[in-house]
Amino acid sequence: MEPAGTEQVKPAPTKIGQLRMAELVASALRDRILAGGITDGSTLPKQDELVAQFGVSYPSVREALRILETEGFVTVRRGNRGGATVHAPDIGTAGYALGLTLQAMQVDVPDLGQALAVLEPICAAHCAEREDRHEVIVPRLEELLAASESHLDDGAAFTRTARDFHDALVGFEANATLRVVVKSLTSLWSVQEESWADAQMSRGSYPSRAERAKAQHAHERLTEVISAGDATEASRLATEHLTATQRWVLRSLKHRVIDAASPRTRNRIRQS
């Protein structure tokens, strides 16, 4: 018997079944994207088609799309001309996620620099060992050398083009796992250094043209030893150069936490 004047409150119906179906649909679509069955930049089928294809309700499909959008796999446009554009994960995606993780851990810029000083010389050595270096690697590095040389009189522009050299160098790493990790770290460092360069230019304290010429010469020497196939010297020169350039940057960023969440960082990493 219920006490007089009280009503029994019925529990609200749960949506566990609907959420479970949404997760299954999201998982199936995610697997197709990762396997290349749905290509980057393409559009997912309309909701009507997905409902028919998976035999689920419209709320389940909408929730599946929300899950994929949260994960960064799609961008959903609402309205009559709406649809879901696919974004297949790439090195930029990995770099951005890694950067956010490091920022959340309050990792500072020197820590990032130390990691690069260990890993980037390995990539330089591997470039020197590649049999196709004269056809694939050296021409691109020489192209970037010409670009950075043309900006020797503009500090901020020189930094950006010089960082492109580093991004390209690690991008030639043959081992896919190492390439993704090191290129992600290099892109993160590039953002920190470019922000530093802009600040130094505004204060009139950017390194002199002679210092820029030293960095340019280091890139030229590194390209020469890679072309010659000298892996040991490529690793040594890369380590020496990174130590020297990081010394400049860390004078003002010694205690700075890695910036990964800003729009500038996100754009830079995704374009790398």
Question: What CA–CA distance (Å, rounded) separates 14 from 19?
Answer: 10
Note the helical H segments in 105-208: 109-129, 138-149, 155-171, 176-203
Quick one: tokens of 167?
Answer: 């991004």
The SS3 call for residue 154 is coil
pTM for the predicted model, two decimal places: 0.78
Q: pLDDT tens digits for 201-259?
A: 888 889 899 999 999 999 999 999 999 999 999 999 999 999 999 999 998 898 899 98
Domains of the chain from N-terminus onward:
16-86 (1.10.10.10), 91-271 (1.20.120.530)
Q: pLDDT tens digits for 116-171?
A: 999 999 999 999 999 999 999 999 999 999 999 999 999 889 999 999 999 999 99
